Structure 1
Amino acid sequence: MHVKSLKVFCDVVGQRSFSRAADENGISQSGASQVVHQLEERLGVKLIDRSKRPLVPTAEGELYYQGCRQLVQRYYALEEDVRTFHKELAGQVTIASIYSVGLSHMNACVQEFLGKHPKANVRLQYHHPDTVVQLVETDQVDFGLVSYPKASKTIKVDMWREEPMFLVCAPGSDLAGRESIWLDELDGRRMVGFDTRLQIRREIDFVLSSAGADVQVVMEFDNIETIKRAVEIDAGFGLLPIDTVTREVETGSLVAIPVEGSPLFRPLGIVTRQGKELGKTARRFIQLLHEKADHSEAKLAEAEDKPVAASFAQGEAAGAKSDLENGVSARS
């Protein structure tokens, strides 16, 4: 049986759609349906329950899918390794990222990667955290980038980096001149927070409560970009990853203040489907991500030995907090 046919079948099951699988493989919808029909005739069983929407595999189809998925992934990974053994990296890597990570870190990573491997193809998508995980689970991307990653039966987590979180406020705030701040000093103050459905909000609430800070959440948003805009007009303070406010701090529209006592961090992870065989291009990209994270942490450690201005705008620490400039973010 041709590997291409097995890939089409896996895409139909993974994406629960003949049309999307057809687009992925550059064939017609009827062509994808015919491929699955031929497999069913060969095996003498029904692989797809076509009476349901979205499509679902039968029990036999699920068994066949699990086996074929690993075979297809290993075959294409091996094919790429052999093809590029003595040549430039020329494969494709598909990545799904939450907005704030993608926009604050990935632009520089993609540019550097393509600079080293100009024949490679990087496809980067931005999504809500739940969608990122779903795309990884259904093999629609090679890997995902999420905050507060959780391993499961289907998801493997590779911890990537920890982003320090700072208190951010408007330049006109009475907090703006502070060198640092303790969380209990925030008791009774107005805060612009994350939506309660997000893990980052639950983590912040726990840390504030542990510090005895009962804050007034005056606004709630599901994305960092909107939180920054609200903080800029002095609606309240925010607690945000420093990498996501680099641009605003440098232009003076926001002030970033280190948190004393119980430093806050946002963990970021690289998530892949359990048992997935990544191709050479994907493996190299993940290697670059780790190299840049290590470099950033080394610069941060160096910067922490030097005085840090409350605005973070003139000190060397601003550059050490991120290798990216213009780190705009949206969803956390």
Structure 2
Amino acid sequence: MDQHLEVFIAVAEKKNFSRAAEELHMTQPAVSQYIRAFEREIGTRLLERTNKYVKLNKAGEIVYDHGKEIVGLYTKMQGLVDDLTNKTSGPLAIGASYTFGEYILPHVIADMLEEHPLVNPAISIGNTRDIAEFVLKHQLDVGIVEGDFRHEKLVIEPFAEDQMFIVAAPGHPLAQEENITPQELEKERWIIREIGSGTRKAADNMFAAINISPKKIMEFGSIQLIKESVEAGLGISLLSQWAIRKELAMGSLKKIQVDGLPFTRKFSIVTSSPYRTKALDTFLAFVREASSGDRPPAR
């Protein structure tokens, strides 16, 4: 891979020539020389420099975005070639939406590394929309996303179903009732994820399915924060069975009994290429195995 591009990406991410030089094990003058040569090759300045910081200009943003894609493709190509003769090993960039990434993925990775210690996974957690975008740009080898996700340029494989329940604090009035009506749910304060999240899409789909439009909504960007808020009595929420196992067992959350629930959604594997390294195929085998039951493996 072109070292000029590698140096440019390091400077862009560190926003500092000295820190980039330290990461690349180069001198600062050498880094500066590489950047000047790279800008001459591209034909324009890519960085705005001051005494305090370095930042990308518009041209730099374009080069950085495509450069990251080039690096991702190069790494994938190298891994595929290495796979022809070597054991399951090498880097593996994994992205996952919050529910799978926080509550299932750690068990999957631990089990995989126990049998294949030469695999070097790097994990990114984000909402479904962001993870899919990173896979599309080849910055991730694979994504695990929530909901009925579709994209014409990505390979999408639904592999597991997730049950979702409405939960409240044990002392919440609805937690004491049976045969709760949609109209009662509509009056409550709902604590839900942001738009772009698979969990948010599931909540919106459930609202449509039971024909309600709650007026009191709070958006939080973390499932853990939502759970803490529900436990504190701020409102109710729709959450995955995997996200609430511990809280239900400890009694800090309680399922609200509603006709038509649990609500179900799918988890899907998202890739951008039909070519897969041994490390990726191995990881996907562990993902499918862990999700074949109704809970992640215990450790």
TM-score by length of 2: 0.72
CA contact (8 A) 1:170 1:254 kept: yes
Matched, 1:151 2:151: yes
Which residue of structure 2 aligns with residue 251 of structure 1? Answer: 250
Displacement of 1:117 = 1.0
CA contact (8 A) 2:135 2:143 kept: yes
CA contact (8 A) 1:166 1:257 kept: yes
CA contact (8 A) 1:18 1:32 kept: no
Which residue of structure 2 aligns with residue 171 of structure 1? Answer: 170
Could you say if the C-alpha distance between residues 48 and 132 of structure 1 is closer, same or farther in structure 2, counting changes exceeding 3 Å?
farther
Secondary structure of residue in 2 paired with 1:175: helix
Secondary structure of residue in 2 paired with 1:145: strand
Q: 2:80 aligns with which of 78, 81, 86?
A: 78
Q: Deviations over 1:175-233 (max 9, x none)?
A: 33567x56626344313321553454354244324423354525332322222122213
Displacement of 1:48 = 7.5
Unmatched tracts of structure 2, length 5 or more: 49-54
CA contact (8 A) 1:136 1:143 kept: yes
- Separation in 2 of the partners of 1:30 and 1:109? 44
- Separation in 1 of the partners of 2:72 and 2:227? 43
Could you say if the C-alpha distance between residues 73 and 190 of structure 1 is closer, same or farther in structure 2, counting changes exceeding 3 Å?
same
- Separation in 1 of the partners of 2:133 and 2:152? 12
- Separation in 1 of the partners of 2:260 and 2:218? 26
Which residue of structure 2 aligns with residue 197 of structure 1? Answer: 195
Unmatched tracts of structure 1, length 5 or more: 297-319, 327-332
Q: 1:323 aligns with which of 292, 296, 299?
A: 296
CA contact (8 A) 1:194 1:223 kept: no
Matched, 1:261 2:263: no
- Separation in 1 of the partners of 2:176 and 2:29? 66
Which residue of structure 1 aligns with residue 92 of structure 2? Answer: 93
Displacement of 1:285 = 0.5
- Separation in 1 of the partners of 2:133 and 2:45? 21
Between the aligned residues of both structures, percent identity stands at 22
Letter of the 2:42 counterpart: K
Letter of the 1:46 counterpart: I
- Separation in 1 of the partners of 2:287 and 2:156? 14
Which residue of structure 2 aligns with residue 5 of structure 1? Answer: 2
The number of residue pairs the alignment matches comes to 285
Letter of the 1:117 counterpart: H
Letter of the 1:275 counterpart: S
CA contact (8 A) 2:90 2:119 kept: yes
Secondary structure of residue in 2 paired with 1:243: coil
Secondary structure of residue in 1 paired with 2:189: strand
